Amino acid sequence: MQDDCIRKLYKNQVDGSELHGLVALQEVIQELDPLKMKGCVVVLPTLNPAGLLTLKRSPFYTDSDPNRLWLDPKPKKEPIINYEDPYDKLLDPKNFSEIQEQVYSTISEIFKEVDYYIDLHCHSIQSVPFSYIDRVYYEEDDDKSQIESAKQLFDYNLVMVKLFNLPVVVEDPPRHYFRQNLHRSTTGSFVNGFRKPAFTVELGGSGIVKRDLIKIAKKGILNVLGWAKILETEPKREPLMPDLDEKLWQEIPIHSTTSGLFIPLVKEGKLVEKGEPIIEIRNIFGETKEIIKAPEDGAVLAFYDDVGCYPNSELATFIVENKVILICPWNYDEKKEEKEKQDKD
């Protein structure tokens, strides 16, 4: 393989029950003609065959989330101690990684050679298809070029994400991002570890295959391949599916304050105004117990599959225009918490 070969890596979600990416990749492979390509396309149909067999998110040999075990790009600060404990190494999880982490470490050697990366997932049955983009983090020092380099990476990544022609949602706010170990997800690790563009596509529900979602994924993949000059086709920016504004969106969870059955009042993906009713919660007799309204101008990205709810149940994901910074120092969270503490004092 030539050194100047442009490579691109596609794969389906590591969660075994998420099938749309797998089927889309099967159909993309059938259309690719190696004799007409300038570069290399690497396809990993599944990174979780054990989960695929049982249609579960996690493989049967571990309860760990398989999409939170990739190489950790976040700089670590070890405590300074003036003595050594002979048993310390036996308690350090870095010395006893899970089998899934060991597999991912091997696959990451392939990632180092890849220029672009797309991760195909599924969200929920009542969700619109969309793409996630990760924030870009940098190690804070006196070198301003770190910030500029991080900004260039995010902007370049955004160009690629938009060519999938789906709404673009910024991955969780920084504090929750680290709470959920999303910096160790496939794209979080790839973007912030290898400093290369990558994004996640969310395609409807798990455990099912819908032809319209396969067509969307297939078309998006081929479009990005054209942008990367791997195929000779010209990439096309098309109207978003669904027809949402071309903004960078941010997720807001919608919670209930009571128990009952929740009934969607709007269609997912439809733009609504602040204060517009979006969910009704009823009791078993059909009496209204709560009306939940849109927290801001935006849209419901997804309603969750279980219609039963209790106080504080998460019922839906709402999206609003993103107003949180996109380029962050690694210690963003710690600094913010320290400032909040100082303000309270």
pLDDT attached to residue 343: 53
Cα dist. 35→218, 226, 235 in Å? 20, 15, 20
Looking at the fold, whether 229 and 253 belong to one and the same domain comes out as no
How far apart are alpha carbons 332 and 176 in whole angstroms? 12
Looking at the fold, whether 242 and 253 belong to one and the same domain comes out as no
Query: Domain for residue 282, yes or no?
Result: yes
pLDDT attached to residue 1: 31
Query: Domain for residue 80, yes or no?
Result: yes
Looking at the fold, whether 177 and 254 belong to one and the same domain comes out as no
Looking at the fold, whether 225 and 267 belong to one and the same domain comes out as no
Kindly give the parts of the chain with pLDDT less than 50. 1-7, 9-13, 337
Domain total of the chain: 2
CA angle 36, 38, 42 (to 5 degrees): 100
Query: Domain for residue 183, yes or no?
Result: yes
CATH number assigned to the domain comprising residue 305: 2.40.50.100
pLDDT attached to residue 81: 74
Looking at the fold, whether 168 and 270 belong to one and the same domain comes out as no
- Tally of helices (H runs) and strands (E runs) in the chain: 9, 17
Query: Domain for residue 175, yes or no?
Result: yes
Looking at the fold, whether 142 and 163 belong to one and the same domain comes out as yes
Query: Domain for residue 94, yes or no?
Result: yes
pLDDT attached to residue 9: 47
Q: Mind giving me the DSSP string for 101-148?
A: HHHHHHHHHHHTT-SEEEEEE---TEE--EEEE--EEE--SS-THHHH
pLDDT attached to residue 3: 36
H-run or E-run covering 251: strand 248-255
pLDDT attached to residue 110: 83
Query: Domain for residue 343, yes or no?
Result: no
Report field, pTM of the whole predicted structure over 0.75: yes
- What is the number of alpha carbons within 13 Å of residue 185 lying toward its C-beta? 26
pLDDT attached to residue 70: 86
pLDDT attached to residue 2: 34
Looking at the fold, whether 189 and 308 belong to one and the same domain comes out as no
The two beta strands, 248-255 and 168-170, are parallel
Q: Which domain holds residue 76?
A: 7-247+325-329
Query: Domain for residue 198, yes or no?
Result: yes
How far apart are alpha carbons 196 and 31 in whole angstroms? 26
Looking at the fold, whether 113 and 187 belong to one and the same domain comes out as yes
Looking at the fold, whether 278 and 168 belong to one and the same domain comes out as no
Could you give the 3-state DSSP secondary structure of residue 159?
helix
Looking at the fold, whether 243 and 260 belong to one and the same domain comes out as no
pLDDT attached to residue 344: 52
Looking at the fold, whether 289 and 278 belong to one and the same domain comes out as yes
pLDDT attached to residue 76: 73
